[in-house]
């Protein structure tokens, strides 16, 4: 009984430690301060010579937004880029390859990984639980093989398995250094998307493109202006 209690306490501690600073701030300012100190210490102790970037492409306009967002991304230590996209998405890979070609990065290691989308257009809500679990299952091995330093995602439920794997990795200490960033869609002016709701507490940074949305969610969001 004592061993079970200790294991449960350790698990609770790891979950609390892995939660992003924004979640603590929403709960109480004191906890937010403690998380800030812990994250600052962690970021200074983690030292890497290269950066591994993982990008989730959400198809259609979401892919266009992400690639536009990435057009300003330049880092001399960028080593690899892994694109995650839905199995039913037949256009995002072509657009991503065009983006890579335009950067003229011959030494960059680029990979593409297709997973099950959490919810297709018109899919029943009840079945999304099963497709999300399947997506997580398909993501686990690939995610921890890559062990990204930075995860960028936006748009529909394709990013849910990746975000959840990233958060669990923080809890278990498998990818404590990874930063998860979610960019809310340009179409979201005054309310969060369903995906935004589902990842809100688990990502390290939650970026919005409209001041009206940031005003409605002043704690936990960052306004950067419009990407387009």
Residue 101 within a domain? yes
Same domain, 119 and 155: yes
pLDDT of 179:
94
Question: In terms of residue numbers, what domain contains 117?
Answer: 48-223
* Residues forming beta bridges with residue 172, ordered by sequence position: none
Predicted local distance difference test score (pLDDT) of residue 180: 95
CATH code of residue 77: 3.40.50.2000
* pTM summary value: 0.77
99: Cα within 13 Å, side-chain hemisphere: 22
Calculate the dihedral angle through the C-alpha atoms of 173, 174, 177, 181, rounding to the nearest 10 degrees.
-110
Q: What pLDDT digit, counting tens, does each position of 8-66 carry?
A: 655 555 666 666 655 544 544 434 433 444 444 444 444 457 889 999 998 778 888 88
Residue pair 131/118 in contact (Cβ under 8 Å)? The answer is yes
- Looking at the structure of the chain, the number of domains it has is 2
In a domain, residue 76? The reply is yes
The CA–CA distances, whole Å, from 28 to 21, 73, 170, 203, 214 equal 10, 34, 21, 18, 20
Do 142 and 111 contact (CB within 8 A), yes or no? no
- How do residues 170-179 score in pLDDT, each as one tens digit? 988 888 889 9
The answer to whether residues 96 and 141 belong to one domain is yes
Any domain includes 5: yes
């Amino acid at each position: 009984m004592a061993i079970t209690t200790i294991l449960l306490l350790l698990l609770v501690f790891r979950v609390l430690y892995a939660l992003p600073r924004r979640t603590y701030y929403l709960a109480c300012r004191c906890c937010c301060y403690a998380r800030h100190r812990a994250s600052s210490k962690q970021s200074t102790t983690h030292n890497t010579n290269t950066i591994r970037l993982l990008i989730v492409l959400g198809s259609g306009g979401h892919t266009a937004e992400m690639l536009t967002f990435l057009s300003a991304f330049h880092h001399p230590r960028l080593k690899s880029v892994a694109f995650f996209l839905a199995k039913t998405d037949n256009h995002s890979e072509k657009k991503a390859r065009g983006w890579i070609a335009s950067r003229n990065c011959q030494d960059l290691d680029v990979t593409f990984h297709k997973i099950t989308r959490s919810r297709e257009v018109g899919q029943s809500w009840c079945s999304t639980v099963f497709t999300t679990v399947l997506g997580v299952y398909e993501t686990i091995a690939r995610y921890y093989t890559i062990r990204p330093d930075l995860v960028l995602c936006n748009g529909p439920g394709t990013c849910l398995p990746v975000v959840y794997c990233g958060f669990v990795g923080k809890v278990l200490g498998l990818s404590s250094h990874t930063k998860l960033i979610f960019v809310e869609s340009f179409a979201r002016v005054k309310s969060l998307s369903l995906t935004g709701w589902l990842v809100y507490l688990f990502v390290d940074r939650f970026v919005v493109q409209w001041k009206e949305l940031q005003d409605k969610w002043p704690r936990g969001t960052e306004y950067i202006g419009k990407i387009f």
